[in-house]
Structure 1
Amino acid sequence: MSGIKKIIVLALCFFITVTTRSQILISILFGDKLNTDKMTFGLSIGNAWNNLKGYNQSDPQSNFNLGLFLTLKLETKLFLQFDALAKYKLGAKGLPVYTLGDATLDTIYQHGSLRRSLSYLGLNTSIQYRFWKYLNVDAGPQIAIRVKAKDFLEADHEQGKQIFEKNMKDSTTRFDFGLASGISWQFSKGRGLKLAVRYYWSLVDLYPSEAGNNEARSFQLNLYIPIGGKKQTTTSNDSNSK
């Protein structure tokens, strides 16, 4: 990678990290002002079941995701949402193993399985339409930068379970891009927690040096938790007025 590309990647990582930490601090200090009738800010947590297209043998890999979100109300039933993906993974498990170039290791893992894990920082942008009560549909693009990429070869051995970890950063693409769509339900008359189901289609071959088109697929269940919010005010008549 050239020096200019390295600078761009480092700058992007630094920007995302600083922005995420700043947003957490801002939400703590100004939560009541950030969450209004026109804007909602908060924390997103969820679980994803990930897989990789192009493998005849694979199983979904379960991963925990964590991030921040900002929802802007454009019209009565139309919203724009940004999801900052701070802890986000793709991958698969149950893949066929490959040779490691070492006779001893190949003997141990030849009948085992392979788990692939890719960690990202990213941004999902979606347009959401509320078509019935507080039920929404959404769709939009997602872009992410790969932070880590590792293969884990696992095998049962007479000495117990054996795991071999291999760094795959040089064998994977730096950036991922794709499309996501889903459906969500907002509680508390559209102002509280939001439970969402989303499916993500990657459009990038994450392992270009290998045969096939190894794009990511991810089924996600997310919970959006607003931070702060408008405090309800109450008025009362002075019963002790003279």
Structure 2
Amino acid sequence: MKNYLIVLIFLLSSSYANSQVLISLLLGDKLNSDGMEFGLETGYNFASISGMDSHKSLGSFNIGFYFDIRMDEPWYFYTGVLVKSRLGGHKLSAEDLEFLQVDLYPEAGDYSQKLNYFLVPTLIKYKMDNHIYFEAGPQFGLMHKAWVEYNSDVEGKDARIRQYNKDMINKFDVGVVGGLGYQLMKGKGITLGLKYYYGFLDVYKDKSGTNNSSWFLKANIPIGAAKKEAAAN
């Protein structure tokens, strides 16, 4: 188990996230098979941190790759890596900013906590005959960048300032995911889904009860699956 964890951390710690997505696009047709679907997962999520004074959601785009592996139909194992994904919270209050010890600016503006993670879902999926599916299971996260961002727009002048606070954040996150969705083209095309994540570990080292949570609107895009089907026919 320890060896598997080390391998996982090494994979997630890679600084070649963009290259991983590019390789996925190039090799997708070789990774797809009758028992496994491979492709890109992308979408938009709305994240927040419990235990903070502000509960405003932080919206952001995400992208990664996935493996949908058939076990014993209709049961599947779903995993992969969101190599560009962000959690956090938006419109932090004065109480939040005092805890985070950030510099304040006189001009009106919003402060957001932004946390960049590599996210690895390990889900069990149940696919129905009508191509609707349900999924649930644990998700693991590795935080690699964190900052409080100040944004203002005063008299037509935009300002964006980052104050990095990675040292305040716990590096790992573990939680649970539940979701559902539908696969187009009679189970052969793009999958559209909705899932919810709730983290079990504290986000901040010095503040208990601060847990990540996020709604994810997602689209799974099979890479090379059409080529496999055409070749089989």
TM-score range with shorter-chain normalisation? 0.7 to 0.9
Structure 1 residue 17 displacement after superposition: 5.0
Looking at structure 1, the residues matched to 232 and 166 of structure 2 have their Cα atoms a distance apart, in angstroms, of 57
SS at match of 1:28: helix
Looking at structure 2, the residues matched to 71 and 233 of structure 1 have their Cα atoms a distance apart, in angstroms, of 20
Counterpart of 2:181, as a letter, is S
Check whether the contact 2:17–2:83 (CA below 8 A) recurs between aligned residues: no
Show the counterpart of 2:111: 114
Counterpart of 2:219, as a letter, is L
SS at match of 1:56: coil
Per-residue CA deviation, residues 133-173 of structure 1 (Å, 9 max, x unaligned), is: 10000001111111100001345556845443211101110
Looking at structure 1, the residues matched to 52 and 126 of structure 2 have their Cα atoms a distance apart, in angstroms, of 35
2:130 equivalent among 129, 133, 140: 133
Structure 1 residue 83 displacement after superposition: 2.4
Looking at structure 2, the residues matched to 188 and 161 of structure 1 have their Cα atoms a distance apart, in angstroms, of 45
Structure 1 residue 54 displacement after superposition: 1.3
Distance 1:171 1:69, change over 3 A: same
SS at match of 1:189: helix
Looking at structure 2, the residues matched to 14 and 142 of structure 1 have their Cα atoms a distance apart, in angstroms, of 13
Show the counterpart of 2:26: 28
Distance 1:16 1:194, change over 3 A: farther
Show the counterpart of 1:69: 66
Q: Which structure 2 residues correspond to residues 1-242 of structure 1 after superposition, within 5 A?
A: 12=10, 16=14, 21=19, 24-25=22-23, 28-29=26-27, 31-97=28-94, 98-99=97-98, 106=104, 108=106, 112-155=109-152, 157=154, 160-210=157-207, 212-229=208-225, 230-232=228-230
Looking at structure 2, the residues matched to 18 and 112 of structure 1 have their Cα atoms a distance apart, in angstroms, of 34
Check whether the contact 1:208–1:214 (CA below 8 A) recurs between aligned residues: no
Higher radius of gyration, 1 or 2: 1
Counterpart of 2:223, as a letter, is I
Counterpart of 1:25, as a letter, is I
Question: With structure 2 as the length reference, what TM-score do the two structures score?
Answer: 0.83
Looking at structure 2, the residues matched to 125 and 93 of structure 1 have their Cα atoms a distance apart, in angstroms, of 28
SS at match of 1:32: helix
Show the counterpart of 1:238: none
Counterpart of 2:120, as a letter, is L
Unmatched tracts of structure 2, length 5 or more = 1-5
Distance 1:56 1:15, change over 3 A: closer
Structure 1 residue 85 displacement after superposition: 1.3
Distance 1:163 1:131, change over 3 A: same
Distance 1:113 1:197, change over 3 A: same
Check whether the contact 2:48–2:214 (CA below 8 A) recurs between aligned residues: yes
Question: With structure 1 as the length reference, what TM-score do the two structures score?
Answer: 0.80
Identity %: 27
Per-residue CA deviation, residues 54-101 of structure 1 (Å, 9 max, x unaligned), is: 123231111000000011111221110112110011011011133597
Alignment RMSD: 3.0
Looking at structure 2, the residues matched to 15 and 148 of structure 1 have their Cα atoms a distance apart, in angstroms, of 11
